């Protein structure tokens, strides 16, 4: 009897030891899984008051809108969630879902006023995008990587560095966000890596679609597709190189080249056989972060071949399809060249206050100037003089902790005055200047990793 009890006690002790060991093993596995899982994101909420007319005709007859009242806007420009996982042996996956302007909302309702019919209602504007979904294989300790899937096209500063703590203004830098897709993402293949003080990336992509180019936004809408797939009749390449040799300084050079005409389901006539719509982009940007200063700058130039022929093609299509519901394309004239340049500088005032310097918070006073033109040259340049814009802004960025930034900004967008020398205001040749566009914005942003 005693021996039996002794044996039972021994079994219970063994079971307890085994159970404890299993719990430890489970915790180890969970810890390992969590160490490989990456969850993060960023977001922006902005309130703006624009002290100019919101009419879409304000550039065609500016004199009619000179005394229009101001208007306000609340917006969620970007809210993004990133999820990634490191599988080991050099394999990893990354995803990013982005809700632009709060995403969109629809609902189905039964309308009593329409005999109880079902009716789909659009309840809010906005977009939801899978901005990134890629699989990456690393070789040679990260000096060589192959990435495939939905990837960011890092042409220009604002595409490579688009998170809200990477620019001072309440919204993304206006020039690049106007002339390029932003954030530019496409399905493609990327070869990238970092070797000492150099980072490189070369990409193979589908071409943009010239039917979605516009006079006021150049190629901004060219990367999107109205279909459930991206047409890839044409291909393109992108390249970016960054150098970090100087302490606190990063200099980047990026470029893009590809054909854009016929990258759609529509087949042009035979008279367009020699048209390619070749698009070439070159962009230079830098970031300097040292001595409590942050200075950022960019200069971008783009050339679009066959602009006149494609403009004529787009206009002909607009005439033919303007009465079709759901037509996704713009069919406007397009410029042969576009450009954007800008510079911003901010100084951390807390660095000069001893008590505040010891804490995590930072308080930057900043200023920014930029110039951009979506119709820098081309046959139709004279019709779109308002696309040549200048903008300066100044304000503050306060970060109580690293991940949170509160932004306040005053912005002033302005235009060149027309040449009216020798003309009176009642002359038929007299040209009215465009109305300048001041605004104030207040925003709050976050950017960081949750896990």
Peptide bond preceding 181 in cis form (omega within 30 of 0): no
Q: 432: helix, coil or strand? A: coil
What the block records as the tokens of 294 is 């942050």
Q: 307: helix, coil or strand? A: helix
Residue 18 lies in a domain: no
Q: Could you report the per-residue pLDDT of 423-436, keeping only the tens digit for each? A: 766 776 667 789 99
Contacts of 251 (CB under 8 A, 6+ apart): 242, 243, 284, 285, 286
Task: Tell me how far apart the alpha carbons of residues 306 and 94 are, in angstroms, rounded to a whole number.
Answer: 38
Task: Tell me how far apart the alpha carbons of residues 166 and 327 are, in angstroms, rounded to a whole number.
Answer: 36
Task: Tell me how far apart the alpha carbons of residues 307 and 315 are, in angstroms, rounded to a whole number.
Answer: 12
Task: Tell me how far apart the alpha carbons of residues 432 and 46 are, in angstroms, rounded to a whole number.
Answer: 33
What the block records as the tokens of 54 is 């919101």
User: For residue 168, what is the enclosing H or E element?
Assistant: none
Residue 77 lies in a domain: yes
Q: Could you report the per-residue pLDDT of 368-420, keeping only the tens digit for each? A: 999 999 999 988 888 889 999 999 999 999 999 999 999 999 999 999 877 77
What the block records as the tokens of 430 is 């007299």
Residue 14, pLDDT above cutoff 70? no
Strand 279-290 to 249-258 pairing: antiparallel
Helices (H), 107-211: 157-160, 174-179
Q: Which of 437, 301, 298, 281 is nearest to 368 (CA)?
A: 298
Task: Tell me how far apart the alpha carbons of residues 192 and 204 are, in angstroms, rounded to a whole number.
Answer: 12
Q: What is the pLDDT of residue 114?
A: 46
Q: What is the pLDDT of residue 391?
A: 98
Task: Tell me how far apart the alpha carbons of residues 3 and 411 are, in angstroms, rounded to a whole number.
Answer: 88
Residue 27 lies in a domain: no
- How far is Cα of residue 25 from the mean position of the Cα atoms in its chain? 43
Q: What is the DSSP letter of 361?
A: -
Residue 16 lies in a domain: no
Residue 228, pLDDT above cutoff 90? no
Residue 7, pLDDT above cutoff 50? no
3-state helix, strand, coil in the chain (%, to 5): 20, 45, 35
Radius of gyration in angstroms for the set of CA atoms belonging to the chain, rounded to a whole number: 27
What's the CATH code of the domain at 243?
Answer: 2.40.160.10
Residue 266 lies in a domain: yes
Q: What are phi and psi of 434, to 5 degrees?
A: -70, 150
Q: How many CB atoms lie within 10 A of CB 184?
A: 26
pTM of the model: 0.89
Residue 14 lies in a domain: no
Task: Tell me how far apart the alpha carbons of residues 138 and 446 are, in angstroms, rounded to a whole number.
Answer: 30
What the block records as the tokens of 157 is 């500063």
**Which domain, by its residues, includes 77?**
33-449
Buried b (16+ CB within 10 A) or exposed e, 275-309: bbbbbebbbbbbbbeeeeebbbbbbbbbbbbbbeb
pLDDT band of 208, cuts 50, 70, 90: very high
Task: Tell me how far apart the alpha carbons of residues 351 and 291 are, in angstroms, rounded to a whole number.
Answer: 9
Is the distance from CB of 309 to CB of 272 less than 8 angstroms? yes
pLDDT band of 19, cuts 50, 70, 90: confident
Q: Could you report the per-residue pLDDT of 144-203, keeping only the tens digit for each? A: 999 999 999 999 999 999 999 999 999 999 999 999 999 999 999 999 999 999 999 999
User: For residue 58, what is the enclosing H or E element?
Assistant: none
Residue 271, pLDDT above cutoff 90? no
Compute CA distances 287 → 242, 296, 370, 421, whole Å: 11, 4, 16, 42
Q: Could you report the per-residue pLDDT of 107-142, keeping only the tens digit for each? A: 665 555 445 565 666 666 778 889 999 999 999 999
Per DSSP, the residues of 371-393 read EEEEEEESTTGGGGGGGEEEEEE
Task: Tell me how far apart the alpha carbons of residues 166 and 171 are, in angstroms, rounded to a whole number.
Answer: 11
Q: Which of 167, 173, 177 is nearest to 221 (CA)?
A: 177
What the block records as the tokens of 182 is 């932003």
Q: What is the DSSP letter of 26?
A: H
Instruction: Establish how many alpha carbons lie within 13 A of residue 306's alpha carbon, considering only the half-sphere containing its beta carbon.
Output: 20
Count how many domains the chain has. Answer: 1
What average pLDDT does the structure give for the chain?
88
Q: What is the share, in percent, of the chain residues with pLDDT greater than 90?
A: 65
């Amino acid at each position: 009897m005693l021996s039996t009890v002794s044996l039972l006690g021994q079994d219970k002790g063994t079971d307890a030891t085994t159970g404890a060991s299993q719990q430890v093993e489970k915790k180890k596995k969970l810890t390992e899984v969590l160490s490989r899982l990456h969850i993060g994101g960023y977001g922006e909420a902005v309130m703006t008051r624009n002290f100019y007319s919101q009419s879409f005709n304000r550039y065609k007859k500016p004199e009619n809108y000179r005394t229009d009242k101001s208007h306000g806007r609340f917006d969620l420009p970007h809210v993004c969630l990133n999820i990634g996982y490191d599988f080991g042996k050099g394999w990893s996956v990354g995803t990013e879902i982005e809700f632009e302007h709060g995403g969109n909302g629809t609902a189905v309702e039964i309308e009593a006023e329409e005999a109880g019919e079902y009716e789909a209602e659009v309840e809010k504007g906005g977009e939801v995008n899978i901005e990134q979904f890629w699989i990456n294989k690393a070789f040679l300790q990260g000096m060589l990587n192959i990435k495939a899937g939905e990837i960011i096209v890092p042409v220009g500063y604002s595409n490579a560095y688009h998170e809200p703590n990477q620019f001072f203004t309440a919204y993304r830098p206006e020039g690049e966000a106007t002339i390029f897709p932003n954030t530019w993402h496409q399905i493609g293949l990327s070869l990238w890596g970092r070797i000492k003080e150099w980072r490189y990336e070369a990409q193979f992509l589908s071409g943009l679609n010239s039917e979605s180019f516009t006079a006021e936004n150049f190629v901004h809408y060219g990367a999107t597709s109205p279909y459930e797939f991206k047409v890839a009749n044409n291909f393109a390449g992108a390249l970016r190189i960054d150098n970090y040799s100087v302490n606190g300084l990063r200099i980047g050079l990026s470029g893009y080249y590809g054909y854009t005409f016929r990258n759609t389901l529509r087949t042009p006539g035979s008279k367009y056989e020699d048209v390619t719509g070749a698009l070439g982009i070159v962009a230079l940007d830098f970031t300097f972060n040292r001595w409590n200063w942050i200075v950022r700058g960019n200069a971008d130039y783009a050339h679009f071949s066959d602009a006149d022929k494609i403009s004529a093609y787009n206009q002909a299509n607009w005439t033919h399809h303007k009465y079709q519901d759901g037509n996704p394309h713009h069919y406007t004239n397009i410029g042969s060249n576009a450009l954007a340049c800008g510079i911003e500088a901010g100084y951390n005032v807390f660095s000069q206050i001893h008590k505040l310097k010891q804490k995590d918070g930072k308080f930057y006073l900043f200023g920014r100037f930029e110039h951009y033109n979506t119709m820098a040259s081309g046959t139709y340049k004279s019709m779109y003089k308002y696309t040549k814009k200048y903008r300066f802004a100044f304000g503050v960025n306060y970060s109580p902790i690293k991940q949170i930034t509160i932004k306040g900004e005053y912005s002033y967008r302005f235009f060149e005055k027309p040449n009216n020398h020798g003309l009176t205001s009642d002359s038929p040749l007299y040209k009215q200047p465009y109305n300048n566009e001041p605004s104030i914005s207040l925003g709050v942003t976050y950017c960081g990793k949750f896990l």
